[in-house]
């Protein structure tokens, strides 16, 4: 089973960026958590972070017919990234939307997710533990389909 983990804009700054909101762990730490969770369940995991929406769109296109699941923390693209929404609509595997914080408990503009309507499900608000939970949910959802 193949899982693609995607990280959107500014997530490369995790560890330094607003640690009161996002914690002190780095993106590398979260990728290690996700990779370890995948390996424990017999899956492989690739990761891409980009600050450009087009790179993430291309990665979703590349996952078509290749990956079984996408776990994506789209960063702020969550709230307005319609081309990412459309790309994810064209991916027929499992999609898990992931957020460290709980956007619904923050500013009103974060309450809209354009990714949620095309996701299989969402893992939000569990901090770094969300990376393990999201991978476990993705694997379970893929297995439930087969």
Q: Which positions are annotated as active-site residues?
A: 22, 99
Closest separation between CB of residue 146 and ligand DQA, Å? 29
**What is the C-alpha end-to-end distance of the chain, expressed in Å?**
11
| C-alpha–C-alpha distance, residues 65 and 114, integer Å | 23
Nearer to ligand DQA (CB atom), residue 1 or residue 47: 47
Q: Check binding of 12 to ligand DQA (CB under 6 A).
A: no
Closest residue by Cα to residue 63 from 35, 101, 41, 96: 96
Neighbours of 62 (CB within 10 A): 13
Interface with ligand DQA by CB under 6 A: which range of 32-40, 50-58, 72-80, 135-143? Answer: 72-80
Residue 120 to residue 4: CA distance in whole angstroms: 15
36 binds ligand DQA (CB under 6 A): no
Residues 84-103 that bind ligand DQA (CB under 6 A): 99-101, 103
Stated length of the chain: 146
β-pairing verdict for 2-7 and 44-49:
parallel
Residue 10 as a binder of ligand DQA (CB under 6 A): the answer is: yes
**Whose Cβ is closer to ligand DQA: residue 8's or residue 93's?**
8
Contact between 73 and ligand DQA (CB under 6 A)?
Answer: yes
Q: Report the interface residues with ligand DQA, using CB under 6 A.
A: 10, 73, 75-76, 78, 99-101, 103, 110
């Amino acid at each position: 089973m193949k899982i693609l983990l995607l990280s959107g804009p500014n997530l490369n700054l995790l560890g330094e960026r607003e640690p009161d909101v996002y914690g002190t762990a780095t993106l590398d730490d979260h990728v290690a958590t996700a990779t370890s969770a995948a390996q424990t369940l017999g899956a492989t995991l690739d990761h891409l972070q980009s600050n450009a929406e087009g790179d993430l769109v291309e990665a979703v296109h590349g996952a078509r017919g290749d990956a079984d699941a996408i776990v994506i923390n789209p960063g702020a693209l969550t709230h307005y990234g319609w081309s990412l929404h459309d790309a994810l609509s064209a991916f027929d595997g499992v999609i898990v939307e992931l957020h460290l914080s709980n956007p619904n408990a923050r500013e009103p503009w974060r309450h809209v997710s354009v990714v949620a309507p095309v996701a299989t499900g969402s893992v939000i608000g569990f901090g770094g533990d969300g990376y393990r939970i999201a991978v476990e949910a993705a694997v379970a959802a893929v297995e439930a389909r087969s």
